[in-house]
Structure 1
Amino acid sequence: MIQFGTGGFRAIIGEDFTRSNLELLSAALAKMIKKDHLENHPVVIGYDRRFLSDLGSKWIACTLAAEGIGVHLINHDAPTPLIMFQVLQENAAYGMAVTASHNPAEYNGVKLFTSGGRDATEEVTDRVEKEISGIRPSEIRTMEYEKAVEDGLIVEIDPQNHYIDSILNVIDIEAIKKKNLKILLDPMFGVSKTTLQTILLTCRCNVEVIHDRHDTLFGGRLPAPNSSTLTHLAQMVVQNGYDLGIATDGDADRIGLIDSSGTFIHPNDILVLLYYYLHEYKGWKGAVVRSIATTHCLDRMAESFGETSYEVPVGFKHISSKMEETDALIGGESSGGLTVRGHIHGKDGVYAGSLLVEMMSVMGKSLRDILDEIHRKYGNFVMDEFDCRMTGERKEELQKLLFEEKQLPLFDLTVEKISYLDGCKVYFKNGGWIICRFSGTEPVLRIFCEMENAAEAERISRVFRDFLGL
């Protein structure tokens, strides 16, 4: 069973993430490429450090090669943004990353990219699923990897230096050199070490790295940079006097930050920091695009800039599409993924980390001081987050309650409007909001609530949770 969610196709290894399914997916993509007469454009393939990612990339490549589709295979584990960068550089027909991003270690999957290095839209993934439904297993062809290389159908490539240079070319290296920042990098056993460490060392930062060995179990932690998974990073930042701790998720498209006091910087604040810095200090103008579950501080900031804040469903394909449509400056979501105009069309934790180091160097302030400056101008925005894993039956029950019957709790705040753009979002007159939605990558129900203080956000979230029996 192959179904695409907000972040590609993801499944438990040995259940739906299997060799036969990867070959089936590849055969379907080959059919699409031929129907669209794109055989002369390569498919760029890369992989992360998860179990079977390297082999999975070869299974995909060999199936495409058997159909006469040329493949450019990155010959080492690589960040997802690097793969997207290469799709853009080569004007490739498609790109594929074998990764399950920040999911638990028992998962793997495939992210699909289209021309220009952007996340495949729902229209594209719907086409893939339709092609899959019409393929019989006996129709799937493959070939030996060595034979495909010998015939030139698979070409191994290493675009890492070009990707690194593309970032170095747009950041203020001299400003960073003057500050000699001490930075602790946590790749979370993923793939960002070489790229991000090389960029920071080139800028003469003092860089140390933890959790960089190849461990397909990610040290027993979820490879997602959040407050609960970065406690070790936070402790080491304080104990050893680092100016900043930077973490990236398993495939390096998301970022997490720890400030010099050991405090976790929420991804919402990372977006706010960068939009403020890029617009007010670098002079890069433009709108902002955020997902429906991301801070409204961006709206207030955009309004003060004379710009627009656009709200889209969760999933970076929606963000990148709206950014392209509006020529927005920055886009992102509350899970730590963001991108900036002029770079790739997808989220990039390596580029985001580089820009944040530049920001600290140019402004000459700590992250906390910069955030305090922003809050004095735009007010406080605090988010409460709640996740609950669901059985199929429970999910179906709550979907009916929320999206068919459209029942909601009785809030003691004045409701301004309700949106069902993605999940169920309630906007309050006081500027706060709450959203309840099902994850597109895991069997999880998520509730986000943003208010001007933590106590009020937790209180309103509890009203919704009690209503749903959670």
Structure 2
Amino acid sequence: MNVFGSSGVRGVVGETITPAFVGRVAKAAGSTLGAETVAVARDTRRTGGMLADAAAGGLAAVGSDVHRLGVAPTPAAQAYAEREGVPVVMITASHNPPAYNGVKLIGGDGIELSRDALERIEDRLLSDRYETKPWNETGESERVESTRRAYVDQLLAVADREQIADADLTVALDPGHGAGALTSPDFFRELGCRVVTVNAQPDGHFPGRDPEPVAENLDDLGALVRATDADVGIAHDGDADRAIFYDEHGDYIEGDATLAALAEARLDAGDTAVSAVNVSQRLVDVTSRVDADLELTPIGSTYIITRIRELQNEGEHVPVAGEGNGGILFPNYRLARDGAYTAASFLELLADQSASEAVADYGGYVNVRRNVEYDSDAEREALLAAVESYAEAADAEPTTTDGYRLDYGDAWVLARPSGTEPVVRIYAEARDRDRAESLVGGVHERLRAALE
């Protein structure tokens, strides 16, 4: 697909993402899906209202009535889709910087559209084939005010409220000025937790930190944990479909360690876990220990969800899936990433142990990541050619599921183009930081040279 990447379409507003473009995406989606009603939601980004208006206009133009959900986390919009049986156009750029925005398409079952459906929509978009209606058949619009509250109520119904309340936890929460600021504080308080917050005011300028919940953006959360003697810190991205954690000492917990801990709590022998090609050895160790299978996909929720659906259709049980960036899925709950549900699942682990104890068995690995930016298609192709050349000359058999992954036994390195930003990402994992830095540095040096 040329338009829809690994998790929708995203770009800088005013450059690749414009109201006209979003209107065309909405018209293509409405024409392809043929739904009588489609909902539109957005995260807190400064440009979200403008683009949501464009999406609503495009949908009405092809005859769909529009439910305007306003600002809501992506998982809240997915819960609405599932509950009401209507597709959703979600205006979000998730973890990307404030200048970005984008579109994610959700089916009437509350699940991101399959790659086949996205390809049909993309074909219509690229050929400008829309089922526009005459003036007296265009759709009408209505506002829906209950989306966020209904989502919190649904979360409360599935979380183990008694176990979490009995743990008497203090939660330090950093929603990063995103949509989770409007739902997660209430959710955790109603679970029986004492909640203290930072960056909890919805603000599309993201003044406190960038939306991506990575360690370098979360110093304030670590400080808040230490200052308030909190039991755990929780951070979301811009649309709150991810959760990243800090332990009771105010130390960052690697997302891969969280995924491994939650996977071990859910997996039984014969089950299958699904992750991406940048999977940590931590999850490999867990699946081996419990005698479960592990399936790998290209990076991105679209690919992971597509593979889960295929496995479920084959009769496989997939209780947990996701990536080490905090985007975890529990398909028995919903086939969607949900930062608040992930956080509640982690809180359940703290009933009789601390956060540091909950992930203690999943340490011993160091992860390093570095990006190389490009400015043109020609530079992108030069970088990909350099990656291929590096992999072919390496003393390891490359895995090419998504980019090139080189496994060395004691460590691995992966280089792949991002599906959402103009960068090539380099990942490495090893038991020793110097080893991981060396692997990333070797690839990074080759790629930088390709741009000179």
> Does the pair score TM above 0.5?
yes
- Report the CA distance shift for 1:101/1:431 in structure 2 as closer, same or farther (over 3 A): same
1:344 and 2:329 aligned:
no
Read off the aligned partner of 1:248 and give its amino acid letter.
Answer: H
Confirm or deny: 8 A CA contact 1:199 1:354 kept in the other structure: no
Give the 5 Å matches for 1:43-442: 43-74=38-69, 76-92=70-86, 94-135=87-128, 154=142, 156-219=144-207, 221-279=209-267, 286-324=271-309, 325=311, 326-361=316-351, 364-375=352-363, 380-392=364-376, 393-403=378-388, 406-408=389-391, 411=394, 415=396, 417-428=397-408, 430-442=409-421
1:95 Cα offset (Å): 1.7
Paired residue for 1:26?
Answer: 26
Residues 65, 143 of structure 1: 8 Å contact kept? no
Distance 1:359 1:156, change over 3 A: same
Distance 2:292 2:379 in 1: 42
For residue 82 of structure 1, what is the amino acid of its counterpart?
A: A
Q: CA deviation at 1:307?
A: 0.7
Q: Tell me: CA distance 1:213–1:196, structure 2 relative to 1, closer, same or farther (3 Å).
A: closer
SS across alignment from 1:383: strand
Give the match's secondary structure for 2:183: helix
Output one character per residue of 1:117-175: Cα deviation in whole Å (capped at 9) or x when no partner: 222233222222221222289x967989xx98xx7554535233332232222222111
> In the alignment, is the contact (CA less than 8 A) between 2:156 and 2:187 conserved in 1?
yes
**What displacement does 1:261 show?**
1.1
Instruction: Specify whether residues 142 and 426 from structure 1 end up closer, same or farther in structure 2 by C-alpha distance, changes over 3 A only.
Output: farther
Secondary structure at 1:351's aligned position in 2?
Answer: helix
Query: Structure 1: where are the runs of 5+ without partners?
Result: none
Residue type of the alignment partner of 2:436? A
Q: Is the 8 A contact 1:409 1:463 kept in 2?
A: no
Residue identity matched to 1:443: P
Structure 1 Cα separation of the partners of residues 237 and 343 of structure 2: 12
Q: Sort the Cα spacing of 1:143 and 1:155 in 2 relative to 1 into closer, same or farther, 3 A.
A: farther
Deviations 1:231-250 (CA, angstroms, capped at 9, x unpaired): 01111211221111111011
Distance change in 2, residues 1:89/1:226 (3 Å):
same
- Deviations, residues 268-305 of structure 1 (Å, cap 9, x unaligned): 111012112334xxx79832111111212212211211
**C-alpha contact (below 8 Å) 1:299/1:308 kept by paired residues:** no
Helix, strand or coil: the match of 1:204? coil
Deviates more, 1:451-460 or 1:345-354: 451-460
CA offsets 1:341-379 (integer angstroms, 9 cap, x no match): 222222111111111111112xx212212222345xxxx
Contact 1:278–1:284 (Cα < 8 Å) also in 2: no
Return the offset for 1:425. 0.8
Q: Which runs of 5+ in 2 are unaligned?
A: none
Displacement of 1:90 in angstroms is: 2.3
Deviates more, 1:307-316 or 1:390-399: 390-399
TM-score of the two chains, using structure 2 as the length reference: 0.91
Match of 2:196, SS state, is strand
User: What TM-score do the two structures reach when normalised by structure 1?
Assistant: 0.87
CA distance 1:296–1:24, shift in 2 (3 Å): same
Q: CA RMSD in A?
A: 2.5
Distance of 2:159 and 2:105 partners within structure 1 = 28
CA, structure 1 residues 290+422, in 2 after alignment: closer, same or farther (shift >3 Å)? Answer: same
